Amino acid sequence: MTNVELLKEKAGISACSFISDGMALGLGTGSTVRYSIIEIARMIKNEGFDLVGVPTSEETRRLSERLDIPIRDINESGKLDLTIDGADEFDSNFDLIKGGGGALTREKIVALQSNSMIVVADETKQVDTLGAYDLPVEVDSVIWQDSMDSLASICPGGVSLRGGIEDPFVTDNDGLIMDCSFGPSITEPKALEAEIQKIEGVVEVGLFVGICDAVVVASEGGVNTLVKPSGRLK
């Protein structure tokens, strides 16, 4: 295991310190949060924790089932105690860009159903201003071209269909992903999210504003937990 993977593992395990017995958990998607899911399975098997998870993607569902984590369907989840997920970028306000793995819609649904959200990330994901990472937007597969044109009219760096026309990436919801190159210019993420959501055919936007309560950051110096002062964690 490389140093990077070891740091990811350490951060993923550290995020599980926020878990208490009896919790209903949102289970995120991605290479770092995978280690959190493995740790949750260990807590259930070895420590007797009574936990149930709501997967944010089919990939996470398969992993959870393989690890014998009790799972609940997203449509039947109700209120969740905590979600642990990854991020492609986060800023000092704990606002996020997510959706690099294409699961942004289910990830946001689960995060909004949760009493709190913990993000696990490496230090390269911490930015002063959101947008260096292309902003993913899920759109309806029927009118994607119209949505793409509308997005291009407000996105200074252009918009691309993920996977291309010949072999487009299809989400778990049968939608398509537009990657929008805003550059590090998203100073008002809430306003931009609202503007994009007005575009016909847009299913969800990969901006998570005012949702994240803490970030467990892996770096060469170790693991550091940043907690939002005005967040929901006690």
Give pLDDT tens digits for 90-125.
999 999 999 999 999 999 999 999 999 999 998 999
Active site positions, annotated: 107
**Predicted pLDDT at 220:** 82
Q: What is the mean pLDDT of the chain?
A: 95
* Residue 218 structure tokens: 């892996």
| pLDDT value of residue 74 | 84
Give the pLDDT confidence score for residue 6 in this predicted structure.
86
Angle at 136 between CA 135 and CA 142, to 5 degrees: 140
Residue 1 pLDDT = 66
The rounded distance, in Å, linking the Cα atoms of 23 and 37 is 14
Instruction: Give which of 234, 37, 188, 204 is closest to 120, Cα–Cα.
Output: 37
DSSP 202: E
pLDDT band of residue 7 (cuts 50, 70, 90) is confident
**Are 19 and 115 in contact, with CB atoms under 8 Å apart?**
no
**pLDDT score for 221:** 84
pLDDT of residue 222: 85
End-to-end CA distance of the chain: give it in Å, rounded.
34
pLDDT > 90 fraction of the chain, expressed in percent and rounded: 87
CB of 181 within 8 A of CB of 155? yes
Domains of the chain in start order, with CATH, are: 3-123+209-219 (3.40.50.1360), 135-203 (3.30.70.260)
Of 164, 24, 32, the residue nearest 81 (C-alpha)? 24
CA distance 47 to 40: 10
CB 104 within 8 Å of CB 98: yes
Distance CA 191, CA 155 (A): 14
pLDDT of 234 strictly over 80: no
**Average pLDDT, stretch 36-63?**
97
Instruction: Give the integer Cα–Cα distance in Å for 63 and 151.
Output: 34
Give the span between the Cα atoms of 40 and 38, in whole angstroms: 5
- In degrees, rounded to 5, the angle at the alpha carbon of residue 183 between the alpha carbons of residues 180 and 184 is 130
What is the average per-residue pLDDT within 60-81? 93
Which pTM was predicted? 0.95
pLDDT, one tens digit per residue, over 12-36 is: 999 999 999 999 999 999 889 999 9
Question: Pick from 18, 17, 65, 62: which is nearest to 41 by CA?
Answer: 65
